[in-house]
Amino acid sequence: MAQAARRLGIAEKLAAVIPDRRDPSRVLHPLPEILLARILAIACGYEDADDLDHLRADPAFKLACGRLPESGVDLMSQPTVSRLENTPGLRDLIRLGRVLVDLYCASYAKPPAAVTLD
């Protein structure tokens, strides 16, 4: 899953449409990194951001997120993820949805004539 997410650039594409209003001098975890960790956690069955407090030091999860398993810095904490999840407004959510539709359409040799979102 991690390789596919990186190959497709999912986290980077999603991060590109979310304004990062954080003070750049205080940022420890870039948006794509937070998004990748959240995407992978959900894909592994960890639905709650709280789970990232337990996963942040997990060697296998760190490796999946591009960190060295034993010596790499731990991943972000639950409050960091929760702030990100509560940041996007309606327009941001619409842009995020468009990115997902674009990724879906790009998975076809010939994009579908219509996409039904249910």
pLDDT in tens, 12-48: 999 999 999 899 999 999 999 999 999 999 999 999 8
The better pLDDT of the pair 95, 49 is held by 95
In a domain, 100, yes or no: yes
Average pLDDT over every residue of 101-107: 92
Average pLDDT over every residue of 83-105: 93
By residue range, what is the domain housing residue 37? 2-106
In a domain, 22, yes or no: yes
Average pLDDT over every residue of 2-20: 94
In a domain, 90, yes or no: yes
In what helix (H) or strand (E) does residue 14 lie, and over which residues does it extend? helix 10-15
Phi, psi of 50 (to 5 degrees): -55, -30
Give the whole-angstrom CA distance, residue 54 versus residue 36: 16
In a domain, 88, yes or no: yes
In a domain, 114, yes or no: no
In a domain, 10, yes or no: yes
The pLDDT score that the predictor gives to residue 90 is 96
Q: How many other β-carbons are positioned within 10 Å of the β-carbon of residue 31?
A: 19
Q: How many domains does the chain have?
A: 1
In a domain, 55, yes or no: yes
pLDDT band of residue 100 (cuts 50, 70, 90) is very high
> What are 38-86's pLDDT values in tens digits?
999 999 999 988 899 889 999 999 999 989 888 878 999 999 999 999 9
Q: Tokens 């539709």 identify what position?
A: 101
In a domain, 115, yes or no: no
Sign of the alpha-carbon torsion through 92, 97, 101, 104: positive
